[in-house]
A and B are shown apart, each in its own frame.
Chain A
């Protein structure tokens, strides 16, 4: 069983003084082996060398999801879904290790509530991809819709193209990487984790963020309430280099020229303030 401990020192060095990286679904940035060993009690014992292909063109959404489950129960660890045809809610609720490939595009709520699988989407994804994702990786080769990675708690969520608005809204952990541009209100009410945007960011970036870090390689239209520029550390740069390399991405102007956005932590203390002080903050 994996050891569960906090990475407080790492968090502090990256300027996240409140972050407690505990629990199986929280991001373990520097110990990939640990997350490999985390399994639910009744998780299927899959073999990554056992591969299945499913042509989903004529299948209902529920049929496709049930087919994935039945293949996992039979031990298939690498599953390819052909012709997803941008339909909604595919690949949701997978709570164990699996190599899952969608050859095509997903609609809304694709691969939500997952905890462990490695997913690749060769097309684009609609709204709310990987919502509440807990662990694993999701790599989208083309563009993504709005609320990409809403409320994710862990894992790596990567879109190599452009993403809509409210990316990582309510992000609670994990890493979101956007290869292109992200829309307005990205990082809204972010609470933990990291977001990396290699292109431009829309208005109100990081609005009302409590914690977490946003790195932007392009232009930022404007910052939201209580989002401020932070100081880029050597650890930040090393982490960015490593993370981007993992997914074959590069910061257009180098990671050293990216802008780091963190919480100003005026709203962070909101609950502790007297009513009169709240007025000053707001």
Chain B
């Protein structure tokens, strides 16, 4: 089933970490397997933030040597980053297996991403100047507490509660997905894509990589491909409605925008609240009411509807 939610403050930053945690926690019944957040803080000048993991949470319960292996993998990532001339300014150990690095780098970002992900068990969860992508097993409160997300200030966020259907219960299959290799773009999705394999093969022929077998990752990669070719976000989203087959509602966020798209059948839910200060949306209104407890006017977007808001 899955639950998705998005929020954007139109006049400056808000407490998006706490807000998105509350919204996603209220959607736990739509997907208790994993929870993910894509939060957008203030972009640092010439600085990037990279969230990455070197193992699945589940891996840490297997064998006696995995803890040393995790350390070895991280050391290898550090070595490769240094070798490429990446200047790491801050390192945060979110968990034993997931990390947050802030750095400056003038080189080829895609090459750097590929080189890092070449390390066994390593996946870049997000890369950009404003985006930080956090996802792990458990409900929203569990993940937010684990990654100290409560109190995170930023302009906008999207999030996802996952009920695993066609792929595994692991971090790799959890949403959001970073739109590799495009900086600062993330996607969450509720639905099923029926032309997943055809589209995936098409993208792989274009040299895009897939880290999971989750159809939602395809949307992120699809949008990245469009954006790389110069298509603007809104146009790319309109095109996605015709080219992605299946039933879906998805949210996409960039460093300054938040968008939503609904398929031709309008088969998956979305409730939308919009004001001059704030736009909030979710699979169920109960999530919006976590940040707007007063009576509000909400609408259901219709089939083929694409909306984009900027802060």
What residues of chain A have their CB less than 8 Å away from a CB belonging to chain B? 85-88, 104-105, 107-108, 122-124, 126-127, 142-146, 162-166, 183-185, 202-203
Given contacts A108-B284, A126-B271, contact A164 B302 (CB under 8 A): yes
Given contacts A146-B266, A164-B266, contact A202 B302 (CB under 8 A): yes
What residues of chain B have their CB less than 8 Å away from a CB belonging to chain A? 264-267, 269, 271, 284-286, 288-289, 293, 295-300, 302-303
Q: Is B285 a contact of A183 with CB atoms below 8 Å?
A: no
Q: Is A183 a contact of B266 with CB atoms below 8 Å?
A: yes
Bound complex: CA of A122 vs CA of B293, how far in Å?
Answer: 15
Q: Is B286 a contact of A183 with CB atoms below 8 Å?
A: no
B200 to chain A, nearest CB (A): 28
Q: Is B266 a contact of A165 with CB atoms below 8 Å?
A: yes
| Chain B contact residues: helix, strand, loop or mixed | loop
Give chain B residues whose Cβ lies under 8 Å from the Cβ of A163.
300
Give chain B residues whose Cβ lies under 8 Å from the Cβ of A86.
284-286, 288-289
Give chain B residues whose Cβ lies under 8 Å from the Cβ of A87.
286
Give chain A residues whose Cβ lies under 8 Å from the Cβ of B300.
143-146, 162-165, 183
Q: Which of A88, A124, A146, A164 contacts B286 (CB 8 A)?
A: A88
Give chain A residues whose Cβ lies under 8 Å from the Cβ of B298.
105, 124, 143
Residue of A nearest to B267 (CB): A165
Give chain A residues whose Cβ lies under 8 Å from the Cβ of B293.
85
Q: Is B265 a contact of A184 with CB atoms below 8 Å?
A: yes
Bound complex: CA of A127 vs CA of B285, how far in Å?
Answer: 10
B52 to chain A, nearest CB (A): 37
Bound complex: CA of A184 vs CA of B263, how far in Å?
Answer: 11
A210 to chain B, nearest CB (A): 21
Bound complex: CA of A144 vs CA of B289, how far in Å?
Answer: 16
Bound complex: CA of A87 vs CA of B296, how far in Å?
Answer: 14
Residue of A nearest to B266 (CB): A165
Given contacts A86-B289, A107-B285, A165-B266, contact A142 B297 (CB under 8 A): yes
Q: Is B266 a contact of A184 with CB atoms below 8 Å?
A: yes
Q: List 7 A-B contacts (CB under 8 A).
A: A88-B284, A105-B285, A108-B284, A143-B299, A164-B266, A184-B264, A202-B302
Give chain B residues whose Cβ lies under 8 Å from the Cβ of A202.
302-303
Residue of A nearest to B29 (CB): A88
Bound complex: CA of A166 vs CA of B247, how far in Å?
Answer: 14
Q: Is B295 a contact of A145 with CB atoms below 8 Å?
A: no
Q: Lowest 5 CB-CB distances: which A-B pairs, in order?
A: A164-B300, A86-B285, A165-B266, A184-B303, A86-B286
Bound complex: CA of A26 vs CA of B8, how far in Å?
Answer: 47
Give chain B residues whose Cβ lies under 8 Å from the Cβ of A122.
295
Bound complex: CA of A155 vs CA of B297, how far in Å?
Answer: 26
Q: Is B303 a contact of A145 with CB atoms below 8 Å?
A: no
Bound complex: CA of A144 vs CA of B269, how far in Å?
Answer: 12
